[in-house]
Structures are given as structure tokens and as C-alpha cells.
Amino acid sequence: MSAPPELLDVTLGLARRALRVAHVSFVAGSDAAGGLAAIARHAFANADDGAMARAVGSVLTVPVRAADGRSLGALVASDARKRDFDDVEVAMLRDFARLAAQYVVTPTTVVPSPDEEALRRLSTIANGLPAMIGYWTRDLRCEFANDAYRAWFGIPPERIVGITMNELLGPALFAENEPFVRRALRGVPQRFQRRLIKADGTATMTDAQYLPDKDAQGNVRGLLVMANDVERLFAAQQTLEETNVKMEATTDFLTGLNNRRVFERRSAEAFARFDATGVAFGLILLDLDGFKGINDTYGHDTGDDVLRIIGRLLAQNVRGDDVAARVGGEEFAILSFGARSAPDLCALAERVRSAVGKERIETSLGSIAMTCSLGVALTDDGDDDFRTVYARADAALYEVKRRGKNAVGFKEIAA
């Protein structure tokens, strides 16, 4: 026994929304796997002719029966919350079970006549959903449209029933959608996004599905059409993509610090401000000691972990408008606007050096201790541009490396 995925899945989805539960599933009568299946079998095996439903904790099951009374399986509604299902919810799931029975295919399937009361209730449920839900015959004439069509097209649903899809959408929009329609009529479910203009003139992004309705022989006899307003989701995705693009343009992907491009822009802005106001700022250059050896001995993944640790420590030690950036492989920089004297700037550099020295990374080859060398420079009235400040910090860093590393060096402007 099997169920065609398209319309049965839609029925289960509508049931899940209507009952506001986590899951609604169809369990075939021959399915012997799973705890939910056992609960379902117990429910329909012991149900009376009135299709008695049983609620067990946060699970509700109702039998699914063919028109001739044969048991086809059960609908199982389940939720993680501990709750009791009321009579209205039980009746609602029974209605969905009657509808689901039409889409369960067995070797001797006979398509039952829809229960009018069940269809009336399901119409009420469909009309309460914000998504457009409609049924179109093979010649693309509407047989059902829920109330959501009114908001989208400005036409009452009762006036939509009987008209063609071309008449509803108009020639231009129908021409855009027709390739999806034709593929769905060949039995292939379709899903696509399209921007539509509502009756009130607002434009919104829609997520549309065309689901083939097949008879027992597999012939398509119509289409179930569902369309959701996904404008908010679409806008959020666009915002996220734009944010990611901006972050990629300004952020070092490995450490999360500013990248070299941001450092160069902010340093130029900072020096222009210094040139205009005379308010000094400092530069700290940091270079990891023996980083090549870490990569060679422990691998690049461990090397990346070391760089991430440095990024975290710098982010923790910068203040206010300070700028921390990765400017090279194992090279980092800090623009400090709070430390405006040589002692303050060197104290900040020493805090960073001490924090790095306390870190350890455990590997299968042993523990890794890290050290770093730092060069410090402060802007001076004799500086022509930022390059001279950078050159002094770089010279101070070189001198620390030459003397044995793992220290802070300061370079004043030559008299």
C-alpha cells in the first residue's frame, strides 16, 4: 500500500497547520515499523464504525477507511507538548482522514465520493489560512478557491470558481506561469517564486506550488495550487545576503577581525584627523613568533586555531573606537585612539603579549605555547603621513625579533 506524495502531503500539511501540532503523518495498515505506527494500528484496529479517535498523551490517531469500510491506515497527529486534544480537534482530524482516504492508493482503490460535510469543514479550514489554495481542472478551470484569493486578486472566491487560470491571471502573468503549469499537467510537481502585484497595488514575493492530482491509473486530472506570501522572508534573506557581502568585504574570515582593507582606510582617516587636530594616536604591530614552525609541525588546522585565538585576544583588549585587524598571514595591527602616550601604548601592547603567552593549545603531539613580538609607534608632529608611523612600528618590531622575540619595542621619531 502506498500514497502518492503530492496531494496526500498537502492534506497532512493542512492538518498540521489546522491542529497546530508538530507532525501529522499517514501510517499504512501494513506498516509494522515505529512506535507511532503501533499506536496508529491500535487506534484503528479498536475503533468502532464511527471512526473513534484515541488521544494518548500528545498523540492523536484516527482511522483512515476506504469507501467500502476497509482499513487503509491511520492519521497520526503528534506534538512534543503534553496536551489533550478536544472534540473539535478530533472532528477536524477525522475530516482530514476522510480527505486523505481519497489519495491512498491500493491495488483495488476505488475513489470515494467526497463527504459533503467533511468538504465543508475543510473549506472552512482552507479559508482560515493566509495561503492561496485552489483546485484547477485539467483544462485549467477553477473548481475551488479559498478566501485568500480575494486579498490577492480583489475577486470573491465564488466568482473565481468556473473561470480559467488565464482569465484570472491575465495573459502576461499566465504566459510567465504556463511553463510550470504544463510541466505539472505532465505529472511533475512544480515550485517557484514570483513577485505579484496584489489588488491593493502592493508588490509581494510569492512561493507557489503546482501539485498534480492523479487518478488511480496515474493520469493527471487537475492541479492543486498553493501560494504563500514570503515577502518578509525574502526581504530578510536579501538583508542577510547584503550583510554577508559587506562582512566579506570588511572582515577577515578566519579571525573575525577587520581585514587589511579596513585597516588601511581607518589608518588614513585617523592620520587625516591627527593632521587636522593634533590629537595623537598609536599603532601596534604584532607578529606571532615561530608560526611557520607551528604550521609545519602541527598542521594548518592547528595554525588556524592559533590565529583565531589571537583574533579573540585582540578583540578583548581593544577599547572604544580602537581598530584591531589582521593585516597579513600571522601579522596583526591595532590602531589605538585611547592610549595617546608612549607609556599607555606600551602598556596596552604588554597586556596583549602577556595574554598571548598564557594561552595553550592541546594537540596529539603535545601542548603548544604561543609568544608574540610587538612594535609600537605614536604619531608625531614630524610625520608626513601614516606610512612614516607604520615604518617606525615596523622597525621597532624588527628590533624585538632581532633581540630574541616575545617582547614589546617602541620606536620614537628620529630627532
User: pLDDT value at position 354?
Assistant: 95
Fold type of domain 251-410: Alpha-Beta Plaits (3.30.70)
Would you say 140 and 150 are in contact if contact means Cβ atoms under 8 Å apart?
Answer: no
Query: Over the stretch 66-103, which tens digit does the pLDDT of each residue have?
Result: 877 778 888 888 876 666 777 777 877 887 888 778 77
What is the structure's pLDDT at 246?
59
* H or E stretch covering 226: strand 220-229
Please give the Cα distance from 370 to 23 (Å, whole number): 52
Distance CA(172)–CA(185), nearest Å, equals 20
- 154-172 pLDDT, tens digit per residue, is 888 889 989 999 999 999 8
67 Cβ contact list (under 8 Å, min separation 6):
101, 110, 112, 113
Bigger pLDDT: 40 vs 74: 74
Mean pLDDT of the chain: 81
Q: Which of 117-126, 214-223, 319-328 has the least mean pLDDT?
A: 117-126
More confident residue, 124 or 365: 365
- Tell me the whole-structure pTM to 2 decimals: 0.46
Q: What is the pLDDT of residue 372?
A: 95
Task: Please tell me whether residue 365 adopts helix, strand or coil conformation.
Answer: coil
Those residues whose C-beta lies under 8 Å from the C-beta of residue 254, and which sit 6 or more positions away, are 304, 307, 308, 311, 326
Asked if pLDDT for residue 373 goes beyond 90, the answer is: yes
- Alpha carbons 221 and 211: distance in angstroms, whole number: 11
Q: Among all chains, which residue has been given the C-alpha cell 479498536?
A: 46
Q: Give the residue extent of every domain in the chain.
A: 1-126, 130-240, 251-410
How does residue 248 score in pLDDT terms, banded at 50, 70 and 90? low
pLDDT at 58: 67
Residue 65, pLDDT score? 84
DSSP strands (E only) in 289-397: 323-326, 331-336, 360-363, 366-369, 372-378
DSSP 164: B
Confidence band for 366, pLDDT divided at 50, 70 and 90: confident
Mean pLDDT of 295-324: 91
- According to CATH, the superfamily of the domain at 1-126 is GAF domain (3.30.450.40)
Q: What is the reported pLDDT for 6?
A: 57
Predicted pLDDT at 394: 95
Domain pair 1-126 / 130-240, same fold: yes
Confidence at 353, pLDDT banded by 50, 70, 90: very high
Using CA atoms, how far apart are residues 412 and 378, in angstroms rounded to an integer? 7
* Mean pLDDT within 116-143: 78
CATH architecture assignment, domain 130-240 = 2-Layer Sandwich (3.30)
Across 35-131, where does the E strand assignment appear? 54-56, 59-65, 71-78
The distance from CA 270 to its chain's CA centroid, rounded to whole angstroms, is 38
Dump pLDDT digits (tens) for 45-75.
444 433 334 334 467 888 888 877 778 888 8
